[in-house]
Amino acid sequence: MQRNSRFAVGVHATALALIAQTQRKGKPVTSNAIAAMVGVHPVHVRRVLGTLREAGLVESQPGPLGGWELSRQPSEISLYDIYLALEPELPFEMPARAPEACCRFAPDLPQVLADVMDDAKRALQQHLSSVTLEQIVGWQWDARSDDTARQSCSNLDKTGKPSSNGTLGIQS
C-alpha cells in the first residue's frame, strides 16, 4: 500500500502559516519556507496548499512578498476539515469485487467488515473534528516550551523565505 503524507503535510503547513501570521504580524509565509520546515519538496507543499485553498482553509497572496495564510480563524479549522479537503474518501473501503462464493466466510464477512469499518470512520471523524488547528499549535508550544524549540521557528527573513540556516524563523 502506498503511503500518503498529504494530511500530515497539510496540518504542518497550516500550523506554520498560523505561526507566521501571528509572529510576522499578518504577513504570509512562502511555500518554499514551509517546505524547508516540513522537509518535503515545495511543489508537494504547493499542491497540498492549493487543495486546501479550494476548500477555503487557506489563501495565497501572489508576488515577491506573497505567500500563504489561513482564510479562517485557527479555532474554526478542525483537523477533520484538513483531512476531508485532502482525503475526500475516508479509509477502509471494501473491495469492488465480491468474495468467492466457495469461501465459507463470504456470505457474512462483507457486512461484518462494513460495520466495523463504518465504526472506525465515525471514530476518526469524531476525533479529528474535536481537534482544532489552534489546539495543535498550542500543544506543540506547550510540549516544547524551551527556547530552543521556539528558536527553530525564529529565522524567517522579512520576505517569508527560509533564512540562510534553513529554518522557518519568524521575525517581526
165 within domain boundaries: no
Share above pLDDT 90 across residues of the chain, in percent, rounded to a whole number: 45
pLDDT at site 104: 75
Does residue 149 register a pLDDT over 50? no
Identify the band that residue 162 occupies on the pLDDT scale cut at 50, 70 and 90.
very low
Beta strands in 67-147 (DSSP E): 67-70
pLDDT at site 102: 75
CA–CA distance, 100 with 86 (Å, rounded to integer): 34
Q: What is the CATH number of the domain that holds 116?
A: 1.10.10.10
AA letter at 53:
R
113 within domain boundaries: yes
pLDDT at site 89: 76
Q: What is the pLDDT of residues 2-57, one digit of tens each?
A: 568 899 999 999 999 998 888 877 788 999 999 999 999 999 999 999 999 999 99
164 within domain boundaries: no
46 within domain boundaries: yes
Domain count, the chain: 1
- Cell numbers for 36: 524547508
Q: Domain residues for 114? A: 6-151
170 within domain boundaries: no
Closest alpha carbon to 17 in 2, 35, 1: 35
118 within domain boundaries: yes
171 within domain boundaries: no
- Cell numbers for 80: 477533520
Cβ-proximal residues to 73 (8 Å cutoff; 6+ apart), any chain? 134
159 within domain boundaries: no
CA–CA distance, 1 with 34 (Å, rounded to integer): 27
Highest mean predicted confidence (pLDDT) among 83-92, 109-118, 121-130, 137-146: 121-130
